[in-house]
Structure 1
Amino acid sequence: MTNKDQSLNYYGISRRRFLKQTTILGAAATAGILLPRNGYAALSDVFPVVETTYGKVRGMNTAGIKTFRGIRYGASTAGANRFMPPVKPARWKDVYDAFAYGPAAPQKPGNPTDPYAHSVNWDAHVKSGISEDCLFLNVWTPGLNDNGKRPVFFYIHGGGYTDGSGGITFDGDPMARLGDAVVVTVNHRLGPMGYLDLGKVTGSPKFAYAAVAGMLDLVAALEWVRDNISVFGGDPGNVLIFGQSGGGAKVSTLMVMPSAKGLFHKALVQSGSTLSLGSRDRNTGQTEKLLSELGISKTKPEDLQKIPWDTIIEAKSNTSFSPVVDGVVIPKDPFDPEAPEISADIPMIVGYTREDSGIRNFSGAELDEEGLIKWINETYKENANLVLTTYRKVYPNATPVQVQARIRTDSATRERATMMVERKSRQKRGKAYLYVVEWPSPAYEGRFGAVHGVDLGLVLGNPRNLIAGNTLEARKMADIVGSTVLAFGKTGDPNCDKIPYWPAYDTESRATMIFNLECRVENDPTRELRLLWEKVY
């Protein structure tokens, strides 16, 4: 059987039937004859076509889930569009085949041999290529043009603000299938192509939005959802935005952006709680270094639009660019000093994993008790003994690697997540919920615990990456977590039959969902550790 035969067989079509139908269709088209429906119904069902605001797109039907990969939501960001706000695409005349993921935004390829990157399938996005023509999104849906009013789950990939894509790693089929939902993933500009502060550094109003271009891409993608998702069976009035790590940071930032208001109705932040954005002075300093390294004058910023994108990406000064508070697109820090008023009515889930901030390499996994004590002494100095004795009291049987990971997590990721949900709950409008994932990743003999990213596949109901393991336990966790997220996306309340009752967060009870094979809700879990960090910091 040839590859083509195998592909046709996967979609339930024999080669003979395919050849017969394409011959009929070709002959009919040549003759200008409109065939009766039974002459081409099977192919139109397998390769459905819908009309968007920019033209017709053709997807693929896989056992009932219609998948559209690489739909353009913006024009190329190359040339004169580089560093500019996103431009809407031109209408197309022919049917657009949405069969393959669109290219990822310009970025440095990751190291696929790194154990952690391998475990989360992180470098898989490069399979779709890398290009400045990167404003594409993907849709998975059970129905088309059926007035389905399904909830929409808009997933934003992580990788900080520097790498990643919404491609193969984030397959939306299981969530769409499990929850009768519409799932959307998206690519957007990253690094200096999305966040270079040219406007402030050069004083040119033309580049006023260069430092927030990547966030404006996400707004443009959400506008596409508003304008088009109904033909994909989705409800533009019921959109959940969610993301992990850098994706969670972008969700946090969208919560404060006036241009995003009304484009989403619920939010979920996974291990990416962002209270305040990075220093603008740091961004402008890095921008100046990059211009200097590339020989670009501040008086001629347009010259930066003419050089190859990989020259910019490979520059030594391309370290870490992220959005800034510009006073217009992003008027203030997302959750500092308080939760944003503009999104006060949006219900929100915030969470992290127990070993979220642990070291994710094999050398770190060899830490012994002596090394742990040395690290604590060097890191916390006069508070070292307090930190060590408190953690050993709470976790007497934890390995040194686990203790270090939990210290790192509690002093950073947990602290930010708790502050975010506290500030959100004080608004007493859209409810806030807090969770922690305790279920440990089975990858590499479980040495990393409930590591950063262990919930990536669980949320999407897709535990096939190495970090989740695709075991029976992983599938059970995906069922639990995925069902909870589906319930929240549909109604704004995460409660479902897979978990015990999960009350909204307040500073009196501090109710927290503990996700594990047997889920539980605890009020103010590991209170001693929360109070410890309030004292230390």
Structure 2
Amino acid sequence: MNIPDRLSRLFDRRTQGIALAVALFGGALSSTAIAQGSNAPQALTNAGEVKGKLAQVDGVTLREFQGIPFAAPPVGKKRWQPPQPVEAWNGVRDASRFAARCMQLPLASDMVFRSNGMSEDCLYLNVWTPASAANAKLPVLVYFYGGGFQCGDGSEKRYDGASLAAKGVVTVTVNYRLGVFGFLALPALAAESPHHAAGNYGLLDQAAALRWVQSNIAQFGGDPSKITIGGESAGSISVNSLMASPLSKGRIAGAIGESGALINPISPHPLKQMQQNGTLFVKKAGADSLAALRAMSAEKLLQAAADKDSPDFGPDIDGYFLTESPEATFERGAQAHVPLLLGANSQEGFWSRLLDNQPPTPANYRKTLQRVFGAQAEQALTLYPGHTEDEVKSSGTALSGDGFIAHTTWRWMDLHRRTGSSPVYFYYFDRPRPLKRDDKPGASVDAGAVHSGEIEYALGNLDTNLVYAWTPADHETSRVMEGYFAQFIKTGNPNGAKLPMWAAVKDADGGLLRQTIDAHSRTEVDRGAARQAFLQKIFAAGPPPF
């Protein structure tokens, strides 16, 4: 199954009941605006001066800069080119509002944007930093959004950097090209590339943003030698890729991955295959050359890519950003040797999807696993047992989540702890979201933490999401998880004052240590190695069977 399909499988579940978010989400403020006048903060970048705005959160005055260009607009002949340097400007450029989001279809209604419309001209980033940090050399987080490489934006409220900035972390969110604009590969594109590469333009955008941060972040109070990269879902897959890429692995001091890695069954495609897909797309779009394709409007390209018969667009082994699969890079220990904090959620998938909405009876579960695994069904039933309806729900949810994205995350953890020469901190996020504010009495909640459900907790942004009736237990979970993130970004170790102890991954009691994060976070033993070894063999044999 391709990356966009795998990451969009849960969008329908994630967006149930989110209509209220569209009405309320964008109006929530995580910080209090301060009258600007002549006090508006300014910073000097390599291309020119920018002017942001002041805000206050948790009693800390922040400087916020939004819509700073880190590359030239990828339009015209620059469409499907690696990002080019920004042209210098005269005077002071306004950086007090978010720029446009990259071209995308409205695939997930839980993504509520603050961006200034949508455009191909979208290679901008945003910086939150303490006002007192002019020369402080604070640690830096560069965060990449999720969305299956098809949608998302650095302006999303759940990615707001104000809370982490108030805790002493210079926080940066980055836009990168998506879908056909970010991942089209063609023989003609490879022919014009000095590296004979094609595709991966969205990932090259991320690498360019990292270069920009390294060159400019000192002007915002950040330390260019202490850059941690982080992201969720496609953003986490990006972090895994950036750790492996020769273009970026030397620029980072730490990495955070929330649910996902570019590791089988979410693997980069061979360049040749993606060029074939691209050639098919050119024909479907009605173009007869690369020049004709570049002359098409962005809107027409977006609609052509939305056709149900359109080929897939995602990362490939282009020979430039990726010279091999990240899995191979990590296996031979050639990735960035930096501390890694990563994990997945307790309900990344759901038993009903695995059973195709059939009742969760042991008979239906056995029948499903026999269909999915064939001769390996009995082994699957041993590892994911289903003798009762409750066990079917539990095992079916675990298997669905592993097959979707948790297995890739586990493999990333295991590879880096074996070859990375740096500590690894592995989490299992198990805090279900509470009732929605408009739920009627007696409404049910998810049994576990759904895909993407940890973002607001981890980045300290619960109060920006007015959909859910957050409880004191939710705020305690967020305090702890954001505290772990902040400490890790600062020191490469998530432990700190008033935080439950989190042990690095190591063998213990027949398993591996990991941190369960919920209202009562604690270190436990993960005994899933046999499950993951089984799935690794299944996925190595061919396309994922479920």
TM-score by length of 2: 0.81
The alignment partner of 2:269 has SS state of coil
Mapped pair 1:325 → 2:317 = yes
CA gap 1:381/1:211 in 2 versus in 1, 3 angstroms = same
- 1:59 corresponds to which of 34, 38, 52: 52
CA gap 1:460/1:340 in 2 versus in 1, 3 angstroms = farther
Aligned to 2:26: none
Contact 1:334/1:340, CA 8 A, preserved across alignment: no
The alignment partner of 2:223 has SS state of strand
CA gap 1:366/1:469 in 2 versus in 1, 3 angstroms = farther
Deviation, 1:414, is: 3.1
Q: Which moved more, 1:230-239 or 1:193-202?
A: 193-202
Mapped pair 1:492 → 2:483 = no
- 1:296 corresponds to which of 283, 287, 294: 287
Counterpart-to-counterpart distance in 1, 2:210 and 2:229? 9
Q: Report Cα offsets for 1:66-123 as digits up to 9, x if no partner.
A: 11111111111110110111111111213211122111111112253xxxxxxxx31x
Aligned to 1:44: 38
CA gap 1:532/1:93 in 2 versus in 1, 3 angstroms = closer
Aligned to 2:271: 280
The alignment partner of 2:143 has SS state of strand
Aligned to 2:9: none
Greater length-normalized contact order (CA 8 Å, ≥ 6 residues apart): 2
The one-letter amino acid paired with 1:495 is N
Mapped pair 1:417 → 2:419 = no
Counterpart-to-counterpart distance in 2, 1:10 and 1:485? 23
Aligned to 2:451: 452
The one-letter amino acid paired with 2:70 is Y
- 2:372 corresponds to which of 360, 366, 379: 379
The alignment partner of 2:452 has SS state of coil
Mapped pair 1:195 → 2:183 = yes
Q: How many matched pairs?
A: 488
Aligned to 1:522: 524
- 2:221 corresponds to which of 219, 224, 233: 233
Mapped pair 1:162 → 2:150 = yes
Counterpart-to-counterpart distance in 2, 1:94 and 1:248? 37
What does 1:501-520 align with in structure 2 at a 5 Å threshold?
501-506=501-506, 510-520=512-522
CA gap 1:424/1:108 in 2 versus in 1, 3 angstroms = same
Aligned to 1:442: 434
Q: Report Cα offsets for 1:151-186 as digits up to 9, x if no partner.
A: 101100011211111113311111111x21110001
What does 1:80-95 align with in structure 2 at a 5 Å threshold?
80-95=77-92
CA gap 1:200/1:435 in 2 versus in 1, 3 angstroms = farther
The one-letter amino acid paired with 2:277 is Q
**Alignment gaps of 5+ in structure 2:** 1-28, 437-443, 540-546
CA gap 1:281/1:208 in 2 versus in 1, 3 angstroms = closer
CA gap 1:12/1:447 in 2 versus in 1, 3 angstroms = closer
Q: Report Cα offsets for 1:313-372 as digits up to 9, x if no partner.
A: 2112544311211222211111236346443421112211111133799x9788543654
Deviation, 1:484, is: 0.4
Contact 1:50/1:231, CA 8 A, preserved across alignment: yes
The alignment partner of 1:343 has SS state of coil
Q: Report Cα offsets for 1:456-511 as digits up to 9, x if no partner.
A: 11121112436875332221111111100111111111122354432322456511
Q: Report Cα offsets for 1:400-458 as digits up to 9, x if no partner.
A: 55442211123453332222222111225122222111122225632362110111111
The one-letter amino acid paired with 1:336 is A
Counterpart-to-counterpart distance in 2, 1:365 and 1:439? 24
The alignment partner of 1:239 has SS state of strand
CA gap 1:249/1:224 in 2 versus in 1, 3 angstroms = same
Counterpart-to-counterpart distance in 1, 2:319 and 2:194? 16
CA gap 1:520/1:293 in 2 versus in 1, 3 angstroms = same
What does 1:301-450 align with in structure 2 at a 5 Å threshold?
301-315=290-304, 316=307, 317-336=309-328, 338-339=330-331, 341-358=333-350, 367-369=359-361, 372-384=365-377, 387-388=380-381, 390-392=383-385, 398=390, 401-427=393-419, 429-442=421-434, 445-447=444-446, 449-450=448-449
What does 1:178-193 align with in structure 2 at a 5 Å threshold?
179-193=167-181
The one-letter amino acid paired with 2:433 is S
Contact 1:85/1:210, CA 8 A, preserved across alignment: no
Q: Report Cα offsets for 1:20-67 as digits up to 9, x if no partner.
A: xxxxxxxxxxxxxxxxxxxxxx7333x212222211211111121211
Deviation, 1:244, is: 0.5
Counterpart-to-counterpart distance in 2, 1:485 and 1:330? 28
The one-letter amino acid paired with 1:266 is G
Mapped pair 1:77 → 2:79 = no
The one-letter amino acid paired with 2:213 is V
The alignment partner of 2:317 has SS state of coil
Counterpart-to-counterpart distance in 1, 2:460 and 2:524? 24
Aligned to 1:20: none
Contact 1:422/1:506, CA 8 A, preserved across alignment: no
The one-letter amino acid paired with 1:456 is I
CA gap 1:448/1:89 in 2 versus in 1, 3 angstroms = farther
The one-letter amino acid paired with 1:137 is L
Counterpart-to-counterpart distance in 2, 1:57 and 1:524? 48
The one-letter amino acid paired with 1:331 is T
Aligned to 2:100: 103
Contact 1:352/1:437, CA 8 A, preserved across alignment: yes
Deviation, 1:518, is: 1.0
Mapped pair 1:462 → 2:464 = no
- In angstroms, what is the RMSD of aligned CA positions? 3.1
The one-letter amino acid paired with 1:172 is G
Please identify the structure whose Cα radius of gyration is greater.
1
The one-letter amino acid paired with 1:274 is L
Contact 2:180/2:313, CA 8 A, preserved across alignment: yes
Counterpart-to-counterpart distance in 2, 1:482 and 1:396? 37
TM-score by length of 1: 0.82
The alignment partner of 2:49 has SS state of strand
